[in-house]
Structure 1
Amino acid sequence: MAQTSAAFRRNMRGFDGCISLSEIISALSYALDLTEGAVHGHALRSCLLGMRIAEEVKLPSDQTSSLYFALLLKDIGCSRSASRMSQILAGDDRAARAAVNFEDWSRPHKPSLSTLKLLWSQVLPDAGRVVRAARSFKNGITRYQSFERLSPRYDRGASILNELGMGPIAAEAVRSVDERWDGSGYPDSLKGEQIPLLARICAIAQHLDLVSAAAGAQSAIDTLEERSGTWFDPQLVRIAGSLHRRGALWNNCSPADAEQDTRQAVLDLDSGKRHQLESSQIDRICEAFADVVDAKSHFTFRHSQGVADAAFGIAQAMGLAADRAQLVRRAALLHDIGKLGVANAILDKKSQLSAEEWKAVYEHPRITRRILERVAPFREMAVIAGEHHEKLDGSGYPDHLKGPDLSVESRIVAVADVYAALSEDRPYRAGIELDETLSIMSKLIPVQLDADCFEALVSVVSSRREIASVHAPQVANATLGYPFKNRGFKDTAFESAL
């Protein structure tokens, strides 16, 4: 059985919690790999490759840190376009995005054979030939191009880097990572040296890792050189080729290399690792990645923030110490980060999920834990976040833990998650009015959900509703940020599981 958060709390006593920005970002970059459908560790390997090229370029020292974090966070805006990709393809958005990275979409009227194969494999993969052909024709290759061009992922990625305090140079590198040397890229069709140097380095590093992971290092270099002057800066291509021939490019950059070695190599490159984060900075990072998760589907808009607000209120009402309440809030913010590994075709599905689709859903709390526990001071948080679907009677998932295995912090997040999920619109039903939400939850007490946590939730909700009724009677049912509407509800058992 996995070690419970109660055990972790005992084991973590005395831990001073010192942590650097690179330690958190390098760990959470694994979540971004899930969004992109990339091979595990893609962001870390891209970082090593890009920093080695930058060293050869003799990148000014004041830009080195910007490049470092741009390489780790270059995909942070991608979840924003996942739902749109799923709608176009009606297939696995992550698999499609991973494949799209290998194709040249700058010539939509002259598609290559591999491009046509990609369209055929990703558009309605479970449908018959006639239906798939019709959808492919309807979408057209130009839909892929317009999808990327119209997607807000670029601006969103840059915005998040600014929110994290990474600075305008790093933000602009992330925004321009898909620009092409010949002007055929996105989002602004910049050409040549109009493209920021850091973005050009990021583009080459990204390409090298994606292709080498699929077809080997030599293939990555070959395709890089083939696209020199079209996709990529010729001078940077020559530098990458020179590093390759000298055997100075690929160390710790193979998916077969030990994960801890690759990550340690990345951490060793961080010139700012001596700067320890303040508590407010850690909160800001958690909030930023919560936004990344929630952006994946319009049905989960602000879900993580809503769970965090509810969980923090419950923790305070139950008298938890300030540091424990803060821990609960952070765990709640990041509880669904594992959902970045679940296809939008599943998350946005309006009909009943298949057995295979349920398997993917059941796995997301475990993925959440694996991502968060990569950061030593986050290990207790990882357990709490990974237990948000566990129930007191053992009917939850993924480990079917029971009451004695679950700490009060885990119980709080579980109650907050059910409360938020019932209140929100979902693909298969509308959000539920507040009073009905609490009524449904009361039937789960004390068999599945903790009675004390639920009682604290009711007190918080009641208090906030009273405040709302005084200041704005018309929104008295809008508690904890949710628009409680008087709509029907179809399946309480299904919703309580989610």
Structure 2
Amino acid sequence: MQMNIQHMVLTISNAVDLVGVTDVFHGRRVGMMAVECAKVLGWPLPTQRLLFDAGLLHDCGVSSTREHHKIIHELEWQDAHLHCEKGDSLLRDFAPLAHLAPIVRYHHTRWEDMAALQVDPTVARHANLIHLVDRVDALATPYYRDESLLLHVAEIRDTISRHRGPLFAPDLVDAFLAASTPEAFWLQMDPAYIPQYTQDMERFRESHASTLGELKQFAALIARIVDEKSHFTAEHSQGVARLARFLGLQAGLNGDHLDKLEIAALMHDIGKLQVPDELLESTGPYSPAERAVMKKHSFATYQILRRIGGFEELALWAAEHHESLNGNGYPFHLQARDIPLESRIIKVADIFQALAQRRPYRAPMPATEILAVLHKMQADNEVDANVVSTVARHLDECLQVALGAVV
């Protein structure tokens, strides 16, 4: 499995950008603008690539659509530091991306406060540049969709200029003003051109194969981002992964195969980042329109994971956790013969863990009631009978594993 650091950065960025729902390029635009400013400053290519990665990941601490709304509609707001601290916590514990953690930590810190906080001068400048272009993108966001951006460039530049000194380092403001003078600076933010810019930045980067241990750490990082979406889903992905591994072990899987199953389960709900908070936390039945939104999440998971070299099989295992043996599942309406054991295991693990957790509309279910639900789904040919039988034989253990108790 050839997942290198750049694949990891892009995958996290793709996941986090889903939180924007209809605007999925915020991170990339921030990275692009940071690079263009760095060029004006004469910073070398390695620094440009560092800033591009920092731009892609600067909001990795944001899982909530409510918080994303603040990010793209307010210049400064109370508690902006919270998602910076979350992002720092996510990255600093993962060695391949730990070098980006300090930039993420301080990317909403005012320039005038950096010295008092004793931030490393290089980190301070990099973080402040990300802060600056992040706010530029927030100011520009209302104008991307109707293609009126060029009509508002002057007011955006003026707003940034007015915050020279206290909010942004003066020389960084000057670099932004120089970089953003040509129309090309703004036109390249068009969704049609962003993929090519990203490809250009990834060209000639060094590559290395990741170990399964590294990939499990990476998948756990993704799971933490997803599970932060709502307190009702706290540790859901991690619980599903633990239970899927346990069920896989009982089914005779072992070694790398078991690790890959766990990785797929950890990342099965990436697409839920695109679901609005209020829908996930709804206390009533979904309307047809709301159910249609919910049904998009597993396909979004597939689209993100399938881009990673070597993840093609895992992408399917993760994305097929709402397929049913009777052919009425989603998003592919697969027949039973086309649904692999791994997908069947993740489906049962997902159902079991979700029912064992509290939700806005119900209390956690006891294990016996969860098993009754699974038996009903088995009778309707929705879930695999052998996997359900395994749950029945190890019911108490499954509950403990799903909820994180030591077995």
Q: TM-score range by the shorter chain?
A: 0.7 to 0.9
State how far apart, in whole Å, the 2-side matches of 1:190 and 1:40 are.
34
1:481 aligns with 2:393: no
Partner of residue 103 from structure 1, selected from 51, 55, 74: 74
Counterpart of 1:165 in structure 2 is 95
State how far apart, in whole Å, the 1-side matches of 2:317 and 2:208 are.
27
**TM-score, scaled to structure 1:** 0.71
Say what the alpha-carbon RMSD is for the aligned residues: 3.0
Counterpart of 1:35 in structure 2 is 19
Question: Does the Cα contact within 8 Å between 1:23 and 1:267 map onto a contact in 2?
Answer: no
Counterpart AA for 1:30:
N
Larger deviation, residues 170-179 vs 33-42:
33-42
State how far apart, in whole Å, the 2-side matches of 1:327 and 1:217 are.
47
Query: Any residues of structure 2 matched to 1:367-446 within 5 Å, and which?
Result: 367-445=300-378
State how far apart, in whole Å, the 2-side matches of 1:392 and 1:60 are.
55
Counterpart of 1:199 in structure 2 is 127
Question: Does the Cα contact within 8 Å between 2:242 and 2:401 map onto a contact in 1?
Answer: no
Distance 1:441 1:168, change over 3 A: closer
Shift of 1:405: 2.3
Larger deviation, residues 295-304 vs 166-175:
166-175
Structure 2, unaligned runs of 5 or more: 144-148
Distance 1:217 1:159, change over 3 A: farther
State how far apart, in whole Å, the 2-side matches of 1:167 and 1:359 are.
35
Counterpart AA for 2:61:
G
State how far apart, in whole Å, the 2-side matches of 1:437 and 1:444 are.
11
Question: Does the Cα contact within 8 Å between 2:5 and 2:97 map onto a contact in 1?
Answer: no
Distance 1:212 1:77, change over 3 A: same
Larger deviation, residues 320-329 vs 425-434:
320-329
Shift of 1:397: 2.1
State how far apart, in whole Å, the 2-side matches of 1:78 and 1:328 are.
27
Distance 1:347 1:167, change over 3 A: closer
Query: Any residues of structure 2 matched to 1:447-466 within 5 Å, and which?
Result: 447-461=381-395, 464=397
Shift of 1:418: 0.8
State how far apart, in whole Å, the 2-side matches of 1:419 and 1:49 are.
45
State how far apart, in whole Å, the 2-side matches of 1:57 and 1:258 are.
22
**TM-score, scaled to structure 2:** 0.86
Shift of 1:480: 3.4
Question: Does the Cα contact within 8 Å between 2:271 and 2:300 map onto a contact in 1?
Answer: yes
Question: Does the Cα contact within 8 Å between 2:35 and 2:49 map onto a contact in 1?
Answer: no
Q: 1:449 aligns to what SS in structure 2? A: coil
Partner of residue 202 from structure 2, selected from 267, 277, 300: 267
Counterpart AA for 2:53:
F
Shift of 1:214: 3.8
State how far apart, in whole Å, the 2-side matches of 1:449 and 1:43 are.
38
Shift of 1:256: 2.6
Question: Does the Cα contact within 8 Å between 2:31 and 2:52 map onto a contact in 1?
Answer: yes
Query: Any residues of structure 2 matched to 1:65-464 within 5 Å, and which?
Result: 66-79=50-63, 82=64, 93=66, 97-98=68-69, 100-105=71-76, 145-146=77-78, 148-149=79-80, 152-165=82-95, 170-181=100-111, 196-215=124-143, 216=149, 219-220=152-153, 222-228=155-161, 229=164, 231-245=167-181, 249=185, 252-257=188-193, 259=195, 261-268=196-203, 270=205, 273-445=206-378, 447-461=381-395, 464=397
Question: Does the Cα contact within 8 Å between 1:47 and 1:266 map onto a contact in 2?
Answer: no
Question: Does the Cα contact within 8 Å between 1:45 and 1:254 map onto a contact in 2?
Answer: no
Distance 1:369 1:220, change over 3 A: farther
Question: Does the Cα contact within 8 Å between 1:224 and 1:237 map onto a contact in 2?
Answer: no
Name the count of aligned residue pairs.
394
Question: Does the Cα contact within 8 Å between 2:321 and 2:350 map onto a contact in 1?
Answer: yes
Question: Does the Cα contact within 8 Å between 1:63 and 1:169 map onto a contact in 2?
Answer: no
Counterpart of 1:132 in structure 2 is none
Percent identical: 27
Residue-by-residue CA offset, 1:142-175 (whole Å, 9 max, x unaligned):
xxx44x25x6322111011101225665212112
State how far apart, in whole Å, the 1-side matches of 2:154 and 2:192 are.
18
Counterpart AA for 1:43:
G
Query: Any residues of structure 2 matched to 1:13-52 within 5 Å, and which?
Result: 17-37=1-21, 39-52=23-36
Question: Does the Cα contact within 8 Å between 1:368 and 1:385 map onto a contact in 2?
Answer: yes
Distance 1:313 1:302, change over 3 A: same
Question: Does the Cα contact within 8 Å between 1:208 and 1:220 map onto a contact in 2?
Answer: no
Residue-by-residue CA offset, 1:320-371 (whole Å, 9 max, x unaligned):
2533222221111111110100011011111222222211111111111111
Counterpart of 1:117 in structure 2 is none
Shift of 1:189: 9.4
Question: Does the Cα contact within 8 Å between 1:66 and 1:167 map onto a contact in 2?
Answer: no
Question: Does the Cα contact within 8 Å between 1:424 and 1:432 map onto a contact in 2?
Answer: yes
Distance 1:171 1:211, change over 3 A: same
Counterpart AA for 2:276:
A
Shift of 1:63: 5.7
Distance 1:390 1:303, change over 3 A: same
Structure 1, unaligned runs of 5 or more: 1-16, 83-91, 106-144, 466-476, 484-498
Shift of 1:76: 0.8
Residue-by-residue CA offset, 1:214-252 (whole Å, 9 max, x unaligned):
422573564134222154332112212222336774685
